[in-house]
Amino acid sequence: MENNQISGESAQTQPPVPKKGLAWRVWAAAVLLAVISFSAGYQTGHKGYVWNGSTYQVVNQSSVPKNVDYNLLWDAMKVVDSKFIGKAPTPEQYLYGAVKGAVAAAGDPYTAFFEPKELEIFNTDLKGNFDGIGAEIGKQNGNIVIIAPLDGTPASRAGLRPKDIIMKVDGASTADWTTDEAVDHIRGQRGTKVVLTIAREGRLQPFDLEIVRDQIVIKSVKWDFKQVGSKRIAVITISRFGEDTVPLFQNAVNDVITKSADGLIVDLRNNPGGYLQSAVDVASQWVKSGDVVVKEAKSQGSEQVYTASGLNRLGGMKTIVLINGGSASAAEILAGALHDHGKATLLGEKSFGKGSVQELVNLPEGGAVKVTVAKWITPGGKNLDKDGLNPDIPVKLTEDDAKANKDPQMDKALEEITK
């Protein structure tokens, strides 16, 4: 079993399909075990969080029913098996459906059960090589939304923007979908098309976008230099926090120092997050060793602190961090840490506000559970999940700016950093 904190699918032996009659009872036992396990975990793990005056604490809630009659589940399955006009679900579909429903009962959009094929898709995301449209999908206020379109991908070229609401995928309503169900429908083989029905702030009517899927291969870090008068300014763009982020960022820092940059702009716009440790390692290039980068507020008020461990090579360099509504999760951790330690000025628009910690737990029977286990708190005590990050220097980038290939946020950052 392997645990990954988020900011390959193993070979599985498929069980034989039992014959009708005894079939649903045999598999009902397996489902019962899964649901009972969930119930126990739910009763001990249903959590909220409170502000105690200095920190956020996650606390258990006690208002959970003690007794549940699971005959409702068996009876419902029996009705479908005997009366459904179409093809009845297979025992495996019953099992996966029951487990998904049980996990979804937590009421958290980031806690979900992955079937083996869904787990494979999830694991490829952070490796930066997959087929799809190239957009991070999330859930806000009950809606499936675009967190961030990745640069240079079909999603970006089609004009998708952070906070766009996906109302339909190929005509199918997303009203009751989980985030992972939306990803599963939007993903597909390169060269195929998907039609998204989008609701966007400022537009009266939803509209359709037809997007051709492609292979998405993206390095998570790129950098270059801009000459502004007599000053050389480095610009490092981090598109996500994946497996390649830390070594690529170290290469970028070496280049910045070797070329004696006079200032640094870190572009975290539309960065949907990723691995927690990658964000901590990157922050360690500014924050002194041993200083807090982020805190995890866990259950019963417990807390885990992640501290910097790097060489603090950028600690003395003037830094501006660009954020927007697509900056989420691990991107907010980095931006929040640099801001709270006085290492960077935040410029742009308010961040997404996704500050919860997910742990990926692989299950021996196949698949995995991605479960929210804590809330992220910045060194200064800001609850990222509740508040997001407000920029020190607010600058909007409008749809008209994007269409005209203008970037007032970058322009303002270059102006500020050369003062």
Tokens 């904190």, located at residue: 5
> Does residue 354 carry a catalytic annotation?
yes
> At residue 350, what are phi and psi to the nearest 5 degrees?
-55, 140
Residues 163, 295, 318, 354: which is the catalytic one? 354
Q: How far is CA 343 from CA 25, 257, 282, 313, 334, in A?
A: 61, 17, 13, 12, 11
Residues 267, 340, 343, 356: which is the catalytic one? 340
Distant-in-sequence, close-in-space partners of 106: CB < 8 Å, separation ≥ 6: 42, 46, 371, 372
**DSSP label at residue 299:** G
CA nearest to 335, candidates 227, 213, 241, 219: 241
> Does residue 220 carry a catalytic annotation?
no
Strands 231-238 vs 263-267: parallel, antiparallel or unpaired: parallel
Q: For residues 231 and 152, what is the distance between their CA atoms, to the nearest angstrom?
A: 29
Residues 156, 278, 284, 329: which is the catalytic one? 329
Sequential DSSP letters for 27-66: HHHHHHHHHHHHHHHHHHH-EEEEE-SSSEEEEE-----S
Q: For residues 7 and 330, what is the distance between their CA atoms, to the nearest angstrom?
A: 5
> Does residue 329 carry a catalytic annotation?
yes
Across the chain, how many H-helices and E-strands are there? 12, 22
Active site residues per annotation = 329, 340, 354
